[in-house]
Chain A
């Protein structure tokens, strides 16, 4: 089979997993040059662990972007809330400005 030798060649020519996940994270924040994008793609094809890592990071990103309210919501215990002093201060300030 030609796939074995090919995989070896590819493996020698893509960076190790530790560098791949750093590069992948970077690709979420700015456009990488074509060569680096290709390296990433090849590595993900060959390495199921890095491929999982990629999907899981994208899953986390989608989760928090689509449901920010779940991070801000009150279904946690204890629920952070304004202190009574701050609440009073804010009310007073608002009332003062409104007039």
Chain B
């Protein structure tokens, strides 16, 4: 395949601006910040455009740069701001009472249901993604960020801890609460149990 060429940077904003904005928003959860990240991404891309090897599409090249900018942003922000208490993050999501006193699922009420198991067709369904997006949007921003960096972007735990300036055990607690919430939210709104 012919190596691809970059288009004129003047057209980048119209071609990719909205898409990159949504990528940024998924990870930073703040519109002003997301706009800033998009601008920084384009500027970095402009500087690095001689190094574009043409192996990927222009858009995925830009998305790759954006992911780095997101991490940079968090590193900088947490150096400057005092840290909040990560142990408290998402604690309110924890009050749903999934388990009885002995720590077992409450049968007939909270035990995980069987999901229709044909993953490939499920992933084709627009509704699945709509619900997942809504579930993600219902998380506190830092939890959503931890999830995006770790699960979507497949960053290592160490990188996510470093970016969010939290300890490993804090990250594990946050991710556990996040995954539990998302699973339950999907089950409640998509896979069957009404009003989880």
Contact between A82 and B35, CB atoms less than 8 A apart: yes
Over the window 57-99 of chain A, the binary record of Cβ atoms lying under 8 Å from chain B Cβ atoms (1 yes, 0 no) is: 1011111111110111111100111110011011101110110
Q: Give the secondary structure class of A's interface.
A: helix
Count chain A residues whose beta carbon lies closer than 8 angstroms to a beta carbon of B: 50
Mostly helix, strand, loop or mixed at chain B's interface? helix
Task: Tell yes or no: A8 within 8 A of B by CB.
Answer: no
B76 interface hit (Cβ, 8 Å):
no
Give A7 Cβ to nearest chain B Cβ, in Å: 15
The answer on a CB contact under 8 Å between A94 and B46 is yes
In the bound complex, do residue B112 and residue A82 qualify as a contact, i.e. CB atoms below 8 Å apart? no
Q: Which residues of B contact A39 (CB under 8 A)?
A: none
Give the Cβ gap from A17 to chain B, nearest Cβ, in Å. Answer: 5
The residue among B98, B105, B112, B154 with the most chain A CB atoms within 10 A of its own CB is B112
Interface 0/1 of A14-55, CB less than 8 Å to B: 011111011001101110000000000000000001101100
Q: Which A residues are within 8 Å of any B CB, using their own CB?
A: 15-19, 21-22, 25-26, 28-30, 49-50, 52-53, 56-57, 59-68, 70-76, 79-83, 86-87, 89-91, 93-95, 97-98
Interchain Cβ contacts under 8 Å between A and B, 12 examples: A25-B172, A30-B157, A57-B179, A60-B186, A68-B153, A70-B129, A72-B19, A73-B22, A80-B31, A81-B17, A91-B10, A94-B10
